[in-house]
Structure 1
Amino acid sequence: MPRYTRIAMLFHWLVALMIIGAFTMGLVMTEMPGITPTKLKFYSWHKWAGVTILALAALRLLWRLTHPAPPYPSTMPGWQQRTANALHALLYVLMFAVPLSGYFYTLAAGFPVVYFGLFELPVLIGPDQELKAVLRTVHYWLNMTLAACVAIHVAAALKHQFIDRDGVLKRMLPLA
């Protein structure tokens, strides 16, 4: 069975781990009471992860556009192939939308994004409390949508591995 390239696998697993880490950090930091040095560190790390995810997603998309995905097995029904393609497209959209919504939410809150404490990203909008409230909600729901899509993606991969036994998961496993 044809497989993804090693670079595609690297992008896939690196971005997946970063998304899980950023999502977990977001849940933890928003539950921390008050403003503490630890909470501020989590916010900084969360923003750095978001910027990194955005950059990796751009590189991943460029790689994908120049290196198409291997074909699905001929035994996979057409509706499953179309559903998988739609879910992958939505995952790509969310890999961009989630960090961008967080970036604009941070700017609307009146805080710059300083990548690793070294490089300030452009301030494209000024502080705006009404926009901040909207972007906070948008960022939250985009994250929840991403989490649901990731869960569906993982469930589908496991179904293909353990029920269908059709090799779909092995296409993305580096050691398979």
Structure 2
Amino acid sequence: MTLKNTEHRWGAVSQGLHWLIMLLILGLAIVGLSLDALPRSPKYFWVYDLHKSTGLLVLALVIVRLGWRLYAGTPRPVAGTPPWQAAIAGATHWILYGLILAMPLSGWLYDSASGLRPLKWFGVATVPKLSPPDEGLADLARDAHEWLFWVLVALVALHAGAAFYHHVFQRDETLRRMLPGRRAP
């Protein structure tokens, strides 16, 4: 398999970033949804900081992914794909990228405006604040973070559903070309 995307399939770098970001977001979702159930103990703050650090890692990785996409290009739509489906797929991808960028930014803004103690990214580097403490801005950023999450969940379900539809019913290469282990045609 080639590192770079071809006209027929995603390359190893795109695949690796896709699946890594997906796994990190899944972990973030599980932790984020369970944070309120955790008792406020030192472990809670460790888990919360891990959630924030991982969110910022996702932000960095999606920026790398977008840069790689611009450099390596994208495969053409699978042969026989109607133009309207290709247009919807393209729009969905860009909206997903926007949401994956907006989620950690809204969380970072929430953390900043909340006036919480400084965040050390994975305990290594202090993350700068995006704003001074501001209760109204913190509330807005928290609400945006939650709403963006649910929109992301809906769009990811649509994205995955479309991939499985193509795989099971259309029996085309849409899903297979994002899976590792096959040689490019």
Q: TM-score range by the shorter chain?
A: over 0.9
Which position in structure 1 is the counterpart of 2:152?
A: 146
8 Å CA contact 2:17–2:65 kept in 1: the answer is yes
Q: Deviations over 1:107-147 (max 9, x none)?
A: 11112221011211112311111111111100000111111
Large movers: runs of 4+ above 2 Å: none
Rounded Cα–Cα distance in structure 1 between residues aligned with 2:46 and 2:91:
36
Residues 35-46 of structure 1 aligned to structure 2 (within 5 Å) = 35-46=40-51
Matches within 5 A, 1:1-176: 2-32=8-38, 34-111=39-116, 112-176=118-182
Q: What is the deviation of 1:72?
A: 1.1
TM, length-normalised to structure 1: 0.95
Query: What secondary structure, in the 3-state scheme, does the structure 1 residue paired with 2:159 have?
Result: helix
Deviation at 1:151, TM superposition (A): 0.8
In structure 2, give the amino acid aligned to 1:21.
G
The percent identity for this pair of structures is 38
**Equivalent residue letter for 1:39:** Y
What is the aligned-residue RMSD (CA, Å)? Answer: 1.2
Q: Quick one: which amino acid aligns to residue 154 of structure 1?
A: A
TM norm structure 2 = 0.91
**2:8 aligned counterpart, secondary structure:** coil
Moved more, 112-121 or 16-25: 112-121
In structure 1, give the amino acid aligned to 2:97: Y
Gaps spanning 5+ residues in structure 2: where? 1-6
CA apart distance, 1:38 = 2.5
CA distance in 1, matches of 2:114, 2:43: 19
Instruction: Decide which moves more: 119-128 or 48-57.
Output: 119-128
Q: Which runs of 5+ in 1 are unaligned?
A: none
